[in-house]
Amino acid sequence: MAGVLAGTYQPLGFGDEWGGSIPGLPAGTGLRVVNTFGNSNGDIYVPPQHGVFTVVESIQNSGRAAVTIEAVTVLRPDQTAVTAWPPTPAGQVLYLPGDGPRPASGRPVAGLSLRPGQSIVVGIPVRLRGACYVPNGWSGLSTFYAKERFAFFTHWVPIPVGTPLIFHEPEAGGPGMVCPGR
């Protein structure tokens, strides 16, 4: 029974906090909330940019036992950075405590053990793939992933973002593409 529980125990989830910044990680340029019609919370539009920016989200352990976070990424577990379509990982993921005083800089999230009920804010550095984009073509990010370890088992857990991010669909360039800064 304990083996079955350990093999299926997935207490990590969204921690009800998103946005803002993490000291030591770069902010994006020109990000803004769009699509706020009706009762919609909208989306965060990320305009084309060449540099690295940070997706700030939160993770909470809602389980009854501590779990260790081995990794956090925007990639699906079956993806590689080569096949990723925006955004792609661009640096070490850092965290800040969800409660209490916050340190002057983030700390690496890999290896962090979360107690039951504990939450953290994570900064995931990413970059958009390609400087050109398809006019009126869109892509987005609505989920990030955490690799948790409990006992001798590990799992990738999908966690929804607080507000989805949307991007112009990136392309390498060519006829009909828009290439800012060229």
**pLDDT for res 107:** 93
Residue 181 lies in a domain: no
Residue 58 lies in a domain: yes
Residue 177 lies in a domain: no
Residue 106 lies in a domain: yes
Residue 179 lies in a domain: no
Span 114-138, pLDDT tens digits: 999 999 999 999 988 766 777 888 8
**Structural domain count, the chain:** 1
Domain range for 75? 2-171
Closest Cα partner for 47 from 131, 112, 108?
Answer: 131
- Supply φ then ψ for residue 2, to 5 degrees: -65, -35
Sequence-distant contacts of 33-42: CB under 8 A, at least 24 apart: 33/163, 34/166, 35/166, 41/163, 42/163
Residue 80 lies in a domain: yes
The most confident of 1-10, 39-48, 80-89, 166-175, by mean pLDDT: 39-48
**pLDDT for res 71:** 96
Where residue 8 falls among pLDDT bands split at 50, 70, 90? Answer: low
Residue 42 lies in a domain: yes
Residue 40 lies in a domain: yes
Percent of all residues in the chain with a pLDDT value above 90, rounded to a whole number: 42
**pLDDT for res 41:** 80
**pLDDT for res 101:** 78
Where residue 81 falls among pLDDT bands split at 50, 70, 90? Answer: low
pLDDT of 65 strictly over 80: yes
**pLDDT for res 70:** 96
**pLDDT for res 114:** 95
Q: Which secondary structure element, helix H or strand E, spans residue 124, and what is its range?
A: strand 119-127
Mean pLDDT of 20-36: 89
Taking a C-beta distance cutoff of 8 angstroms, is the pair 108, 153 a contact?
A: no
Which amino acid is present at 140?
G
pLDDT of 109 strictly over 70: yes
Q: Which secondary structure element, helix H or strand E, spans residue 3, and what is its range?
A: helix 2-8
pLDDT of 95 strictly over 80: yes
